[in-house]
C-alpha cells in the first residue's frame, strides 16, 4: 500500500505517508529514556551509543552514563579513563573518545550549548551526517533527514529500490528521498518513526 502510494512522489502522497507513519509511531513507539526529552546532550549520547549497538544492549549503558555524567560539563570534566571504563563492553572505543572530545569542545567553547543545526553539529568529533540530522531534528526541530540502516530498509521497500544501497549513487538517491519526506512539523518524530519502523 505504502509503495503504490508513493510511486509518483507527489506532495499529496508524501503527506499521506507522513500521516500514516506518524500515527503508527505514536501508537506503537517503544518507550526509551532518550525519547522522553528534547535535551540535545541526552539525544546525542543515545545516538552515539546506539551506533553498532542494539537498543536493549545500549540502554543500560546510556542510563549509567547519564547517572555519572548528567550534563555535557560533567562529561567534559571526567578523565578519559573513567569514560572508557563506563563504555567498557560497548566496543568501538573511538566513539567514546570522540564523545569525550566533543563534550570538551561544547563545554569550553560553547559554554555547554550544543550547535543547533545539522551543519554545525557535524563540526564536532564523531558526529556525521546521520547523527547530526537526528540531533538537529529531534532536539531542535530542524527539517533535516536521517539515513541509517533502518531508514534505508524502509525507503528501499517503499520505493522499490533493488540496487545495492552501498553504492554512492544509490545512497545519494536515498538521502534525497529522505529529505523530500521530512515534514516541516515534527521532523524529529517523523525521523524516529522511520527508524522505528525499520528496526521492527
Selected catalytic residue, list 47, 63, 142, 176:
47
Look-up: residue for cell 507522513?
Answer: 18
CA angle (79, 84, 85) in 5-degree steps: 95
CB of 99 closer than 8 Å to CB of 79: no
Q: Which three cell numbers stand for residue 174?
A: 536515498
C-beta separation of 191 from 145 below 8 A:
yes
d(CA 188, CA 135): 8
Give CA 30 to chain center in angstroms. 15
What is the chain's length?
200
CA 175 from chain centre, in angstroms, equals 14
Residue 151 has a CB neighbour count (10 Å cut-off) of 25
Contact 198, 149 (CB under 8 A): yes
Is 47 assigned a catalytic role?
yes
Residues forming the active site: 47
Amino acid at each position: 500500500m505504502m509503495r503504490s502510494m508513493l510511486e509518483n512522489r507527489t506532495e499529496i502522497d508524501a503527506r499521506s505517508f507522513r500521516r500514516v507513519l506518524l500515527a503508527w509511531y505514536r501508537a506503537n513507539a517503544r518507550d526509551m529514556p532518550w525519547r522522553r526529552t528534547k535535551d540535545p546532550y541526552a539525544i546525542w549520547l543515545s545516538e552515539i551509543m546506539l551506533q553498532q549497538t542494539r537498543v536493549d544492549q545500549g540502554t543500560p549503558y546510556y542510563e549509567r552514563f547519564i547517572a555519572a555524567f548528567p550534563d555535557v560539563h560533567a562529561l567534559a570534566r571526567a578523565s578519559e579513563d573513567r569514560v572508557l571504563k563506563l563504555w567498557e563492553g560497548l566496543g568501538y572505543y573511538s566513539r567514546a573518545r570522540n564523545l569525550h572530545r566533543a563534550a570538551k569542545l561544547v563545554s569550553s567553547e560553547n559554554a555547554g550549548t550544543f550547535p543547533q543545526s545539522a551543519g554545525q553539529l557535524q563540526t564536532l568529533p564523531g558526529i556525521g551526517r546521520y547523527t547530526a540530522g537526528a540531533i538537529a531534528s529531534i532536539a531542535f526541530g530542524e527539517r533535516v533527514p536521517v539515513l541509517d540502516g533502518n531508514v534505508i530498509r524502509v525507503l528501499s521497500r517503499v520505493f522499490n529500490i533493488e540496487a545495492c544501497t552501498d553504492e554512492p549513487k544509490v545512497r545519494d538517491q536515498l538521502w534525497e528521498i529522505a529529505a523530500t519526506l521530512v515534514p516541516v512539523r515534527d521532523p524529529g518524530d517523523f525521523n524516529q518513526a522511520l527508524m522505528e519502523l525499520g528496526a521492527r
